[in-house]
Amino acid sequence: MRERHPRPSPALIVSVVALVAALAGTAAAADPQATTAAKKVTKKQVKKIANRQIDKRLPLGTNEIADAAITQQKLAAGSVSTGKIQDGAVTIGKLADNSVSSAKLRDGSVRSDALGALTRRQDTQAIDPGNADSAQAVCQSGERLLSGGAGTSGVGTDPDWRVIRSGPSGNGWDAAAANGTADQGTLIAIAICLEAG
């Protein structure tokens, strides 16, 4: 006589189905392609996330950038052109001393009407034979020394008359001369002053 096996109970069938479903879910979670396909990020969501990150980095508001937030190292060469800079955006306060040299200026980029007035200041000193003396031309308040030099009169080209010092001093130009001739000579110190804007 053949042995009979008992039929599985409904509870056992339900348990097996639940186990298979649970294992299938775990396999889907382990498959990166399945999760990526299930969670596609739209362009709109990416933009929203990017804007949130920018807002975190700019605590002063969207139209303001914190000091030193954009450094020279973060800018590609030629990325900031004149067309990208608003008129009046680069003020004197935003430029470091001596940062704009003549080598960085295009021909004709600085017109005379964009500069303050130039004024020549001078000081003269008569120097007796056998003596040495100095003269100093000084720019006035509201002016800045731009250049200068020294000149002479009354002694021609005598080699015994010579300028022994000529150069900037404070906000002026200082010069000194020695007179080894038999005649009185005149030393002239000259300062070219630019009206400060």
Between CA 39 and CA 154 the distance in angstroms is 94
Return the number of other C-beta atoms located less than 10 Å from residue 125's C-beta: 16
pLDDT value of position 107: 76
Strand pairing category for 172-179 and 132-138: antiparallel
pLDDT value of position 188: 95
What percent of the chain has pLDDT above 70?
61
Are the beta carbons of 119 and 148 closer than 8 angstroms? no
Flag whether pLDDT at 62 surpasses 70: no
Least confident of 3-12, 45-54, 81-90, 176-185: 3-12
Q: Which segment, 33-42, 63-72, 122-131, is predicted with the most confidence on average?
A: 122-131
Flag whether pLDDT at 118 surpasses 60: yes
Are the beta carbons of 172 and 96 closer than 8 angstroms? no
Between CA 71 and CA 100 the distance in angstroms is 17
Least confident of 95-99, 121-125, 164-168: 95-99
Q: What is the mean pLDDT of the chain?
A: 75
pLDDT value of position 187: 94
Flag whether pLDDT at 61 surpasses 50: no
- pTM, entire model: 0.46
pLDDT tens sequence across 5-31: 566 666 656 665 665 566 555 554 555
Between CA 181 and CA 18 the distance in angstroms is 120
pLDDT value of position 79: 73
pLDDT tens sequence across 65-111: 555 567 777 777 777 777 777 777 777 677 777 677 667 777 776 66
